[in-house]
Amino acid sequence: MREFNWQVRVYYEDTDSGGVVYYANYLRFMERARTEWLRSLGVEQDTLAQQDGLIFAVRFVQIEYMKPAKFNELLDVSVAISKPGKASVTFEQSIFQAEGQKQLLCTGTVKVACLNSETFKPQAIPEKISREISGGS
């Protein structure tokens, strides 16, 4: 899969008392970008849960912060698959300033597991999504 990019504006509610993005909110931005990536593939997570009984849950996160984002900045959040699996996907994500110097703000590795929505046990990723992940049709 090629890289997917999604932009988000930093709102006041995303910042701490110093006017910079609160550290946990970078994870929210990454989550939203992965959701938009799925949507770009024609996958809606609520439909997947209702029709297939499947949900995606974060299993592992590693994040490194380089520079803070500030109120009202436009950010570019990237999503790229580093390791597709049968019941999980590992993503490499980055957040950059989208305007001005376009500096790298943080990077993260996120492993997401596909789970049965009732038992929370691992379940194979649906074939349509697996094909998209591997770049097939």
Q: Return d(Cα 96, Cα 90) in angstroms, integer.
A: 20
User: pTM of the predicted model, to two decimals?
Assistant: 0.92
Residue 136: per-residue pLDDT: 57
Give the pLDDT confidence score for residue 24 in this predicted structure. 96
Q: Are 112 and 92 in contact (CB under 8 A)?
A: no
Question: What is the per-residue pLDDT for 1?
Answer: 57
pLDDT in tens, 75-118: 999 999 999 999 999 999 999 999 988 999 999 999 999 999 99
Active site residue 52: no
Number of domains in the chain: 1
CATH label of the domain that carries residue 109: 3.10.129.10
Asked whether 53 and 45 are in contact (CB, 8 A), the reply is: no
Average pLDDT, the chain: 94
From 14, 16, 52, 76, active-site residue: 16
Where in the sequence is the domain holding 94, given as residue range(s)? 4-133
What pLDDT, in 10s, does the model give residues 16-38? Answer: 999 999 999 999 999 999 999 99
State the pLDDT confidence band at 132, using cuts at 50, 70 and 90: confident
